[in-house]
């Protein structure tokens, strides 16, 4: 089997989360690549909503560097406005949103707003964009991000995109109609959430280990009793990725 990069492992893990027939809000980088793999191999009837307002039932013929590149419009089913697609999400018509963040905590809350104190932050981040809508209104979300202790923290400095809040029935008490994260796909492993809304390690990537994931997490991360290695990318998955991204711009090591 061909050697795979950590990014390719993440892409394939995300692609396997997409179910056939789902409407998926697709972002740049890993989400875009994951949708391409899923569409070819696992979910031929899935539909992509691109954040810039494009609806596609097919993968663009050329790789995209931004979601508004001309190939994204060629063959699209609908070229509209982002607000219209967010309205579809509010109506419950989007099953999956793929998002990322700068910080995440044990309950899947994401921070893309600021690092440090609210009055005098050390770093100002770009904000949530549509990710806050995804986190509140999609039926579920998949989070993808680098796995570092400074990013995987006990409590995020600011909740930009809510996960399970403080755990338990927090989302219901906030009036959120559906959703929450179902998985976190990091550069080291795959985390899922228990009934109380707390993350646990479900699998570690082939280039990592359960101990490495735990050591790089800023809280006492629970580990599943049946934790195992994330399945390595198959030859078929790698072929799709490398056909779509031959130079490894998004998927390279």
Q: Say what the pLDDT of residue 169 is.
A: 95
**Ordered domains of the chain (ranges, CATH):** 1-94+232-248 (3.40.1080.10), 97-230 (3.40.1080.10)
| Phi–psi pair at 143, nearest 5 degrees | -105, 130
Reported pTM? 0.93
How far, in Å, are 1, 35, 41, 67 from residue 58 at the CA level? 28, 10, 13, 14
Enumerate residues 6+ apart whose C-beta is below 8 A from 210: 189, 201, 204, 223, 227
Question: Which listed residue (22, 51, 198, 237) is catalytic?
Answer: 51
Q: Say what the pLDDT of residue 150 is.
A: 95
Mode of pairing for the β-strands spanning 121-124 and 114-116: antiparallel
3-class secondary-structure state, position 101: coil
Strands (E), the chain: 23-26, 47-50, 54-56, 78-79, 96-99, 103-104, 110-111, 114-116, 121-124, 140-145, 181-186, 189-193, 199-204, 222-229
Write the pLDDT tens digit of every residue in 144-179. 999 999 999 999 999 999 999 999 999 999 999 899
pLDDT band, residue 180 (cuts 50/70/90): very high
Rounded Cα distance between 102 and 114, Å, is 9
Write the pLDDT tens digit of every residue in 10-37. 999 999 999 999 999 998 888 899 999 9
Do 198 and 167 contact (CB within 8 A), yes or no? yes
Rounded Cα distance between 181 and 198, Å, is 10
Q: What integer is the mean pLDDT of 190-200? A: 97
Rounded Cα distance between 191 and 175, Å, is 25
Instruction: With a cut of 80, say whether residue 118 has pLDDT above it.
Output: no
Is residue 237 among the annotated active site residues? Answer: no
Q: Say what the pLDDT of residue 253 is.
A: 66
DSSP 74: T
To 10 degrees, the CA torsion angle through 184, 126, 130, 104? 20
Write the pLDDT tens digit of every residue in 53-87. 999 999 999 999 988 899 999 999 999 999 999 99
DSSP 168: T
Q: What is the residue-averaged pLDDT of the chain? A: 93
The closest alpha carbon to 135, from 250, 15, 38, 27, belongs to 27
């Amino acid at each position: 089997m061909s050697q795979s990069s950590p990014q390719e492992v993440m892409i394939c893990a995300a692609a396997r989360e997409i179910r056939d027939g789902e409407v998926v809000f697709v972002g740049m980088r890993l989400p875009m690549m994951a949708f391409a793999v899923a569409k070819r191999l696992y979910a031929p009837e899935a539909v992509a909503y691109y954040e810039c307002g494009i609806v596609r039932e097919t993968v663009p013929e050329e790789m995209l560097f931004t979601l508004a590149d001309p190939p994204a419009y060629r063959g699209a089913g609908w070229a509209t406005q982002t607000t219209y697609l967010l309205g579809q999400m509010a109506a419950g018509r989007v099953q999956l949103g793929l998002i990322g963040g700068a910080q995440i905590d044990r309950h899947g809350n994401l921070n893309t707003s600021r690092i440090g104190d609210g009055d005098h932050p050390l770093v100002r981040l770009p904000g949530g964009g549509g990710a806050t809508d995804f986190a509140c209104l999609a039926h579920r979300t998949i989070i993808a991000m680098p796995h570092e202790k400074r990013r995987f923290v006990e409590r995020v400095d600011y909740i930009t995109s809510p996960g399970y809040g403080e755990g338990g029935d927090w989302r219901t008490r906030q009036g959120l109609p559906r959703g929450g994260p179902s998985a976190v796909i990091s550069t080291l492993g795959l985390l899922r959430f228990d009934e109380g809304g707390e993350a646990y390690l479900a699998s570690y990537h082939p280039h990592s280990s359960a101990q490495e994931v735990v050591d790089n997490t800023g809280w006492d991360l629970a580990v599943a009793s049946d934790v195992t290695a994330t399945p390595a990318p198959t030859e078929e998955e790698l072929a799709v990725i490398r056909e779509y991204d031959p130079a490894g711009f998004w998927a390279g090591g």
